[in-house]
């Protein structure tokens, strides 16, 4: 079995951001030479996430609004007693999750028609990374 690992770095200008990383991950898969296997894409921070969904602007806005309803920014989180003010970002990350695994078939990401990979930032404006680990034959 082969494996190949690369890291992606992000430093968003906004507190929350949704970045389509599909082409970047696809390039890493092609570089790896793996024809049959899987790729793990995982945010290495507890206030960010990785998810698979449609690349449609209205849907991305809907996701952002939905997350803000479920885990709104507010002063009352117990986590804020630590001096941090990002309790909502931790909860948003739990909702969206921190990683995805995508199958690789014939050297390509094996998606449904509209599926794309996104990096979701919930506590931005500082440097964070994502691991991309390709495994297979």
The pLDDT assigned to 43 comes to 98
pLDDT in the model for residue 92? 98
What's the pTM value of the predicted model, to 2 decimals?
0.95
**pLDDT at position 74:** 92
Query: Into how many domains does the chain fold?
Result: 1
Owning domain of residue 104 = 2-136
CATH number of the domain to which 24 belongs: 2.60.120.460
Q: Average pLDDT for residues 104-133, to the nearest whole number? A: 97
* Predicted pLDDT at 100: 98
| Cβ contact 64:120 at 8 Å | no
| 9 phi-psi bin (left φ>0, alpha ψ -120 to 50, beta other) | beta
pLDDT tens digits for range 59-84: 999 999 999 999 999 999 999 999 99
């Amino acid at each position: 079995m082969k494996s190949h690992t690369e890291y992606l770095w992000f430093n968003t200008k906004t507190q929350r951001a949704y970045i389509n990383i599909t082409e970047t991950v696809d390039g890493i898969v092609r570089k790896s030479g793996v024809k049959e296997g899987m790729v793990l894409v995982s945010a290495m921070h507890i206030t960010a996430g990785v998810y698979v969904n449609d690349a449609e602007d209205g849907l991305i806005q809907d996701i952002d609004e939905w997350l803000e309803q479920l885990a709104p920014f507010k002063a009352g989180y117990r986590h804020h007693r630590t001096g941090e003010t990002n309790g909502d970002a931790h909860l948003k990350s739990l909702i969206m999750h921190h990683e995805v695994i995508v199958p690789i078939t014939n050297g390509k990401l094996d998606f449904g028609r509209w599926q794309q990979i996104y990096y979701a930032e919930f506590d931005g404006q500082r440097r964070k990374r994502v691991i991309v680990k390709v495994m297979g034959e």
